[in-house]
């Protein structure tokens, strides 16, 4: 049996996915319960920032 979480991400636009990821980072960052997760919160945030930059480039064409 395969368990697939239903988080509703398929319905989100690209900018909404970025906002979703940023909100999760804010909640996780500094939370002692998630201090030793892999990948680290910093790694996830770096990828989100990169995604946001690429998204902005794709939207304005520069």
Evaluate whether residue 5 is within a structural domain. no
7-44 pLDDT, tens digit per residue, is 788 888 999 999 999 998 888 888 888 778 888 888 88
Evaluate whether residue 4 is within a structural domain. no
Token pair, residue 43, equals 């790694």
- Cis peptide bond upstream of 39, omega within 30: yes
Predicted local distance difference test score (pLDDT) of residue 40 = 83
Predicted local distance difference test score (pLDDT) of residue 52 = 93
How many Å apart are CA 13 and CA 56, to the nearest integer? 13
Structurally, the chain folds into a number of domains equal to 1
How many Å apart are CA 9 and CA 20, to the nearest integer? 9
Predicted local distance difference test score (pLDDT) of residue 2 = 81
Predicted local distance difference test score (pLDDT) of residue 6 = 77
Evaluate whether residue 3 is within a structural domain. no
Evaluate whether residue 29 is within a structural domain. yes
Predicted local distance difference test score (pLDDT) of residue 4 = 74
pTM: 0.69
Evaluate whether residue 1 is within a structural domain. no
Range of the domain at 54: 11-60
């Amino acid at each position: 049996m395969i368990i697939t979480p239903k988080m509703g991400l398929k319905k989100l636009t690209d900018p909404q996915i970025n906002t979703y990821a940023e909100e999760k980072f804010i909640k996780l960052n500094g939370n002692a319960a998630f201090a030793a997760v892999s990948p680290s919160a910093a790694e996830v945030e770096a990828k989100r920032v990169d995604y946001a930059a690429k998204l902005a480039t794709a939207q304005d064409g520069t």
